Amino acid sequence: MPNVDIHCKISKARTQGDEFRELHEWIDAPQKDLGINHRIERHSLNDIYLKYIEKHWGKSGVIEWLFHIAIDNMETANMFAVDLYPSRCYNQVLMGFNGKKLGCCSFVKPSGNANSVNIK
């Protein structure tokens, strides 16, 4: 899974300046004691975490928390996919949004071939 430095770089690019380092460190802090199982803490959407994060990091922090969780899960899904069907694996997943909803998703193979799903 991406380490805190990678999450910070992603946040900095997405927010055009704020790394949210303290938030990312807080999200992954249970890793010290729980190892890979640390995701049972602070990695799921629930009202308790949402309120805590909004109080300490604001609404922007909530957004970065949700992206942190999504990115971790996408990387894990990719690791499983590479092991299960390496010849059908993709190296890019491009998601497009139509307002607030997912509008399309494209999967690009290393060869440049792509499969896309448009959502209506």
Going by C-beta distance under 8 Å and a sequence separation of 6 or more, which residues neighbour residue 98? 104, 119
Residue of higher predicted confidence among 112 and 48: 48
**Ranges 21-25, 27-31, 93-97, most confident:** 21-25
As for how many domains the chain has, the answer is 2
Q: Which amino acid belongs to residue 47?
A: D
Pair of tokens at residue 112:
């440049």
Same domain, 79 and 95: no
Same domain, 21 and 69: yes
Domain that holds residue 41: 4-86
Residues 22 and 38 in one domain: yes
Residues 60 and 119 in one domain: no
Structure-derived torsion over alpha carbons of residues 15, 8, 72, 43, reported in degrees to the nearest 10:
-90
In this structure, are 18 and 41 located in the same domain? yes
Quote the CA–CA distance of 5 and 111 in Å, as a whole number: 29
| 75 and 17 together in one domain | yes
The answer to whether residue 109 scores a pLDDT higher than 90 is no
pLDDT at 56: 97
CA pair distance 58, 75, nearest whole angstrom: 26
